[in-house]
A and B are shown apart, each in its own frame.
Chain A
């Protein structure tokens, strides 16, 4: 293996952020790699603190408080850009992607194993809807008391891109960022060869379902294998259609490759939200490489040929 020498230079940094295991693999001098890792981790932590809907001191919490007070809030440029991006996704998905549908998502957490009744669904729906939001950059007013923003659908992917850029800023040329399966390439291996990204098997998450070569850009996977719940023999995903208020019958996972993890994540989330048939067709029309895996483990999409069940999740 002529790349054996380079591979010895890969420094791996594992950490937890945004509720998932994260890893940085950087091919550089140890000192530069350590500096980049610290900076990248700090950037991910910053975004986590800013946009977490679990923290009382986050910006998302402040926005929620402003909704309850019936006031508008002026947001910073980064948040405004994220809101603009989310608004684009809302429009592109015919309203299915909605950062205000947090109340519905929480309703279907199903931590107690009970399916919510119609009245609870209606109550939650009344507190959702991007259409009710007044967004006139940089002024944001959530139209309804109790409405909450959930930027979970974009922030992790954005954080992966930001972490990769922070690594580049520090001087890293070869490396990859992995935030719980959302990947951004800092740069290909020194010999120009791609990183190999494993997509987890929906049935056995310790195994790779497929290997995807990544030279640049990002790979994002939306899936419900980690959060789907089976109640009374029926499988409920965590992806809720805001129109009906009930979870979507969709793929186990959708993976998309794009120039950035942000766009890959948007595409995979929308593919997932649109459901089995429409999601697949929409992704095909979109033109980005993608892979869909259904609940029975059947693969489809332009990357379906990349399937390789025999190999481990990580190539390194």
Chain B
């Protein structure tokens, strides 16, 4: 039903949304009647290495990011969203691993404290927000001193019946890598990477209080996929991190949402399984509880577990270069597991919404499903906190 949406009708439909959400899914998204301006301040801090042995700075990475976002309906049948992000990163990052006494792996950190900025803009346009399904077109650009990424995407939702919705989409990203101090450290001077993604999902409204969604995503990366800043110990010396020029990943996800009337709350359960052509497999399980409280407060405690199995060419150090084609000691490709707990709080006050949150993420090699493999001395733990302010324009 396409028509002019008068202010009176918008008011009626908006008021009816909570009572008959199915009929007013269009207004339930909020995109149709309200514009939103939001600001987020986010701080991310990786734990220092101590008491683990380390060569170089024990301090690790920290990121402070700020994001502005604007979302607004355009006419009665479209919505525009745009965001700008600025990040300041500083600290040392893991460089390579050496063998200490008793063959114990010791992490070597990058010598200089890195200080870098990243700026990113993104925009998306959704056409058709009603019950006949919609199409979202998106584009983004991100720039750092040594890294430029451009991405475009398209996503379409197709209602198959009153209870079943099919989602399909795809995206493409083109990234340019121009490492700093390339000549000084004999790094590759220029690299590029292309990533294509396809996904499909089915969302099934089981009954009035539960929704189940399942989906498959396929990613394919080509080009320079190594980390130009990392080295690998091979025998008595070091070489540059060297990975295959292609990586294909397949991920399967399941999401379940259940709304309870007593207490008035909802449970979100998410599971994701991924595996790729490098031999990396991962499982993520997340549970979140959305609890509305009196006076328009909302509390969201969440728990997440992540487990990853290492890439075939991961090792903290290699003794025999002839036995391998590819080499990495990047902790992000090792075997580890992590538990994360977070607590987010929101408070609506008229047209303002305040939010804040805190996350503690703890990683360890022996948290991995099936136990640890090769040592990962740089496995990360971090603390993250954010505050945000939203303004809703009716």
Contact = CB atoms under 8 A, between A and B. Distances in A.
A89 B22 CA distance: 20
A89 B12 contact: yes
Contacts of B19: 78, 81-82, 85, 158, 161, 262
A306 interface: no
Nearest to A184: B23
Given A187-B162, A259-B26, A287-B4, A161 B20 contact: yes
Contacts of A158: 19-20
B9 interface: yes
Contact of B1 (A84, A88, A217, A282): A217
Interface in B1-48: 1, 3-6, 8-9, 11-16, 18-20, 22-24, 26
A267 B1 contact: no
A216 interface: yes
Interface residues of B, number: 29
A262 B20 contact: yes
Interface in A132-159: 158
Interface stretch (A27-35, A52-60, A162-170): A162-170
Contacts of B20: 158, 161-162, 165, 260, 262
Interface in B178-211: 205, 207-208
Interface string A216-259: 11100000000000000000000000000000000000000011
Contacts of A166: 208
A184 to B, nearest CB: 8
Contact of B22 (A81, A165, A267, A288): A165
A287 B3 contact: yes
Dominant SS at the B interface? Answer: loop
Given A161-B23, A259-B26, A260-B24, A288 B16 contact: no
B264 interface: yes
A42 interface: no
Contacts, number: 88
A84 to B, nearest CB: 6
A77 B16 contact: no
B3 A168 contact: no
Contact of A259 (B1, B4, B261): B1
A120 interface: no
B4 A77 contact: no
Contacts of B5: 287
A262 B16 contact: yes
Which of B14, B16, B19 lies at the interface centre, i.e. has the most chain A CB atoms within 10 A of its CB?
B16
A285 interface: yes
Interface string B256-270: 000001001000000
Contact of B23 (A171, A217, A267): A217
Contacts of A259: 1, 13, 23-24, 26
A263 B1 contact: no
Interface string B240-281: 000000000000000000000100100000000000000000
Contacts of A282: 8
B129 to A, nearest CB: 13
Contacts of B3: 287-288
Contact of B18 (A84, A165, A169, A266): A84
B27 to A, nearest CB: 9
A186 B23 CA distance: 10
B118 to A, nearest CB: 43
Interface of B: 1, 3-6, 8-9, 11-16, 18-20, 22-24, 26, 131, 161-163, 205, 207-208, 261, 264
Task: List the 9 closest A-B pairs by CB distance, nearest first.
Answer: A260-B23, A88-B15, A161-B20, A287-B4, A81-B18, A260-B20, A169-B207, A85-B15, A168-B162
13 contacts: A77-B261, A81-B18, A84-B15, A85-B18, A85-B19, A158-B19, A260-B23, A262-B16, A263-B12, A266-B16, A287-B3, A287-B4, A287-B9
Given A84-B15, A89-B12, A165-B208, 7 more contacts: A82-B19, A88-B15, A161-B23, A187-B162, A218-B23, A262-B19, A287-B9
